[in-house]
Amino acid sequence: MDSGFVPTTSFVRAQRSNAISGNRSGFLAPAVGRVARPVRSNVVKMVAPAADGKLAQTGDELADKCINSIRFLGIDAVEKAKSGHPGMVMGLAPTAYVLYDKIMKFNPKNPKFFNRDRFVLSAGHGSMLQYALMHLYGYDSVSLDDIKQFRQLGSVTPGHPENFETEGIEVTTGPLGQGICNAVGLAAAEAHLAATYNKPDAKIVDHYTFAIMGDGCNMEG
């Protein structure tokens, strides 16, 4: 990341031209539910003319800056709280960026719309990854002030995601192994609804379930 670049909320939000439509990449297969998605023809790209007439920025450079925005927001919140798990937000920021920016269908202004894709963070101790994504992609339920209150009593950004506290969180997680089971249930319910209501010429139910799980989920689940 350039030394002169300061990641901001508006910067990352501006990169997503449409949060709820368009083809989504098959780069990352869902952990549960159906797979196979059409591949986007190119990555998100922002270019600007440089003084010498060359392109000043490439898609890869922009993606790096978006990913680092997620990372720094996450580790800053953990550092301020003097508590938390920075490893997941550092290590999984690239995967999460691709998932949110290229694959998942969601609407931050209408978090409960029926055909949204579902995301479950089974490894709930890495909650700052999810809060950073929600804030940067425009969820009103997670403001910058809320992130500054990460892991504080009474905040909407607790140490583990809680769906009754923070709009946009699908599943309350924490006990390792629980979230992946919830995700399987969500995917099974979606498959049942699709089998019941979809017709050859009318795909009424069309959403996917994605989950991030860790080795602890495998050991305890």
Domain 45-220 is classified in which CATH homologous superfamily?
Thiamin diphosphate (ThDP)-binding fold, Pyr/PP domains (3.40.50.970)
Mean pLDDT by 10 residues, the chain (221 residues): 41 39 34 38 36 52 94 97 95 96 96 96 97 97 98 97 97 94 97 96 95 92 61
> How many CA atoms lie less than 13 Å away from 115 in the CB half-sphere?
9
Q: For residue 212, what are the CA distances in angstroms to 79, 127, 200? A: 23, 11, 32
Show the tokens assigned to 216: 């602890």
Q: What is the helix, strand, coil percentage profile of the chain, to 5?
A: 40, 5, 55
pLDDT at 60: 86
Between CA 129 and CA 40 the distance in angstroms is 25
Between CA 205 and CA 76 the distance in angstroms is 39
pLDDT at 220: 86
Q: For residue 199, what are the CA distances in angstroms to 105, 172, 195, 196? A: 21, 33, 9, 9
